[in-house]
């Protein structure tokens, strides 16, 4: 079976394109290698499991002045934004020999905004507008080949078997380095293009994030904004030195 459009990658880029295809009445299929949608957008609940209304372990700030398309998308989906709290002092840890210092916070311009319910609420809103038969999860594309006027895709099913699918247009909504590493092209791509793919960094890939849940917002009582920076290591040791440890801690890599 041949389709007009195949979208490879179920992150926000692939889902936004799928939403546009659906709105325009164009037949398509979206293929995602993970068993969930969202890609690098990942929100977890208090139990550490994926949640559509939780804590962001991937991207979480947006700036309307710098990202008008994203903010327009959120508005069209009925997703609400709210400003990042900046009231109170910030804490800065310069070195192990100097105690952490407090400095008055300053309002950033443009102001950082957050998405109500976590960034995954955008993914959930997009998913709800796309029929399930247009999406295949846990399925990876391992090869793309030109066959006349079509593109033939070798697809790995969740059970490990392979199948071939054809489309007039294939859109790769994936980090360039992942494309280079995971998909074989026929004919091969130009070596210069492959080098550019490999050298294109994936934003925030080497970083990790965590969330801690406290019984009370002690930082507000102490006149702190909740923002802190450390030049020597995890800031958690400063928090646990002065306050009770968090009762729950969850983490995930953003790579």
Residue 181 has pLDDT above 50, yes or no: yes
**Amino acid 1: pLDDT:** 62
**Amino acid 111: pLDDT:** 85
Residue 55 has pLDDT above 50, yes or no: yes
Mean pLDDT of 11-28: 96
Give this prediction's pTM. Answer: 0.84
Mean pLDDT of 150-164: 94
Mean pLDDT of 24-38: 95
Residue 132 has pLDDT above 50, yes or no: yes
92 compared with 248, residue with greater pLDDT: 92
8 compared with 105, residue with greater pLDDT: 8
Q: How many CA atoms lie within 13 A of 139 on its CB side?
A: 20
What whole-number distance in Å separates Cα of residue 66 and Cα of residue 213?
31
98 compared with 143, residue with greater pLDDT: 143
251 compared with 51, residue with greater pLDDT: 51
**Amino acid 255: pLDDT:** 35
**Amino acid 251: pLDDT:** 46
């Amino acid at each position: 079976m041949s389709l007009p459009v195949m979208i490879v990658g179920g992150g926000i880029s692939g889902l936004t394109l799928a939403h546009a295809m659906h709105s325009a009445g164009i037949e398509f299929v979206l293929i995602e290698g993970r068993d969930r949608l969202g890609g690098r957008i990942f929100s977890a609940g208090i139990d550490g499991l994926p949640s559509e209304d939780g804590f962001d372990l991937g991207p979480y700030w947006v700036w309307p002045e710098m990202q008008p398309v994203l903010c327009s998308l959120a508005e069209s989906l009925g997703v609400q934004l709210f400003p990042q709290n900046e009231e109170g002092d910030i804490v800065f840890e310069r070195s192990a020999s100097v105690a952490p210092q407090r400095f008055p916070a300053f309002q950033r311009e443009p102001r950082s905004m957050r998405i109500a319910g976590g960034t995954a609420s955008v993914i959930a809103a997009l998913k709800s507008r796309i029929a399930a038969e247009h999406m295949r999860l846990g399925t990876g594309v391992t090869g793309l080949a030109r066959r006349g006027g079509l593109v033939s895709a070798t697809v790995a099913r969740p059970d490990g078997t392979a199948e071939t699918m054809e489309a007039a247009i294939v859109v790769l909504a994936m980090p360039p380095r992942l494309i280079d590493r995971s998909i074989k092209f026929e004919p091969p791509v130009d070596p210069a293009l492959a080098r550019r793919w490999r050298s294109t960094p994936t934003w925030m890939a080497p970083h990790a994030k965590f969330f801690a849940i406290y019984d009370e917002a002690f930082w507000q009582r102490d006149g702190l904004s909740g923002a802190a920076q450390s030049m020597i290591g995890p800031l958690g040791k400063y928090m646990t030195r002065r306050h009770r440890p968090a009762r729950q801690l969850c983490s995930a890599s953003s790579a």
